[in-house]
Amino acid sequence: MMSPHLLLVILALGYAPTTRGWSAHFRPAALKLHMAGEDRVQLTLELPKANFSTLQQPDRFQFRLESTDALLASVPGENSTIPLDAFNPQTRDWTGDIVVHGHFLGQTKIQVRLHDIQLNQSELPTEWSNDSSLEVKIMRPNRVVDHVFLGSIILLMSLLYINFGAALNLEVLRGLITRPTAPCLGFITQVVGMPLISYALGVFIFPEAPAMQLGLFFTGISPSGGASNTWTAVLGGNIHLSVLMTTVCNVAAFATMPLWVTTLGQLIFERAGIQVPYRKIATYCGSLIFPLLVGLLVQRRLPRIAAFLVRLLKPISACLILFIVVFAIITNYYLFYLFSWQIIIAGMALPGLGYIIAFLAAKLLHQNAADALTIAIETGIQNTGIAIFLLTTTLESPEADLTTVVPVSVAIMTPLPLLGIYLYKRCTASKRNEVSVAEAERIV
């Protein structure tokens, strides 16, 4: 029981004990928005029933709606303040709709605070419940351009693999199988080395961000991507070895991915119900093998057309790489707002270490330059598409969209070293041609 003297002291100091016991209730208590979207929720505010009420001081108190991260979502200015004049003096409550605007991917809270203008102090509801704050998740909208991009990639990759099939030499493939050193080395560096590297990098670069560790690890356990065959063709590697390694690694992914998920990956995934998308991997393998069979059929039945397709292999490969990089950046431009120096380093380090370690291992085992280059490319290039698919199917939005920034970073950074090698080869080749021309002129 508060004594009259203590009460007078409290009032003299400017405190308002009548603010104690007020409550806020959002209905619903959770909201999902798309970027640049908005929605309404109902808010009920209830004041305490003490004798000295805040309603008697309407100029001193007001309720304010605040977002814990205004860059993600906020309540617009006209709805962010609720004056005491709006309250029902008999029931001592207020009920109305508020508008919430979504700005960017992420998760935030909308909270109500009772602000004391005189003291410039704010307080949260003193009677707390599960609906006293509004959980807001901002998701990526469904866009037609994303479906167009995916369809274009499927079509172009199918055409490219028909070209690969037309260029395959079955006798060379048989020789690779009978001399398995290169395929086995590439298999080990891909399905053992890359998961270990991705896990170690995730812990080192993102020690306080398990979601980012998750994105990097999913990228590391994904099988090699079709872009590895493309870059092998562009850089003059062993295309037969590349296609064989890609096919073997994608088939082996049926066993290796769940194995990593249930062993080392369990340290990250222990709170996430991981379901490996077997159907997706099977579809990818089928889409990889079927165009190859079509190309082999063209090679056997239509040799002239096959020879024409072989001549188009490198220019089509180069155009496909350029298309994927440019279109991916355009359609996922919003992810650049999430880029940090850690994400950039992770995107460079994973493929970079894969290239270096695999190339050194191949040279230590006395592989020729073309095979060593091919093994390095196959190891460093991951199928970031499968990584993104895994993230989006195992996590809810917006967490799925946020973690995909890591495989997107890897996809953007992966071609840079290979592009440097390509430009270097072009420059050295042009210099050799100039020297040859100059020597020929001197002889003449």
- Give 208-263 pLDDT, tens digit per residue: 777 788 889 988 988 776 678 778 888 888 887 887 787 777 667 767 877 787 77
Q: Indicate the burial class of 367 (C-beta count within 10 angstroms; 0-12, 13-18, 19 or more).
A: buried
Residues 184 and 134 in one domain: no
Structure tokens at 110: 């909308």
Neighbours of 60 (CB within 10 A): 15
CA neighbor of 169 nearest in space, from 109, 103, 238:
238
The single-letter code of the amino acid at 173 is L
Instruction: Name the residue range of residue 195's domain.
Output: 180-278+314-421
Integer Cα distance of 424 and 177 in angstroms: 32
* Cβ 230 vs Cβ 363: under 8 Å: no
Integer Cα distance of 15 and 9 in angstroms: 9
Q: pLDDT band at 277, cuts 50/70/90?
A: low
CATH assignment at residue 415: 1.20.1530.20
Output the pLDDT for position 13. Answer: 36
Residues 185 and 134 in one domain: no
Residues 194 and 319 in one domain: yes
Residue 355 lies in a domain: yes
Q: Is the pLDDT of residue 351 over 50?
A: yes
- Domains: count for the chain: 2
Residues 227 and 349 in one domain: yes
Mean pLDDT (the chain) is 77
Residue 170 lies in a domain: no
DSSP 8-state secondary structure symbol assigned to residue 140: P
Integer Cα distance of 174 and 81 in angstroms: 75
CATH assignment at residue 64: 2.60.40.10
Q: pLDDT band at 430, cuts 50/70/90?
A: low
Q: Is the pLDDT of residue 297 over 80?
A: yes
Cα→Cα distances 402→67, 70, 418, Å? 19, 17, 27
What are φ and ψ of residue 203, in 5° steps? -65, -40
Q: Is the pLDDT of residue 440 over 60?
A: no
Segment 30-48, tens digit of pLDDT: 898 888 889 999 999 888 7
Q: Indicate the burial class of 392 (C-beta count within 10 angstroms; 0-12, 13-18, 19 or more).
A: middle
- Tell me the β-bridge partners of 107: 137
Structure tokens at 400: 């799925």
DSSP secondary structure letters along 125-139 = -SS--TTSSEEEEEE
* Cβ 224 vs Cβ 250: under 8 Å: yes
Output the pLDDT for position 346. Answer: 92
What mean pLDDT comes out for the span 181-195? 87
Residues 363 and 263 in one domain: yes
Residue 166 lies in a domain: no
Structure tokens at 177: 């199988």
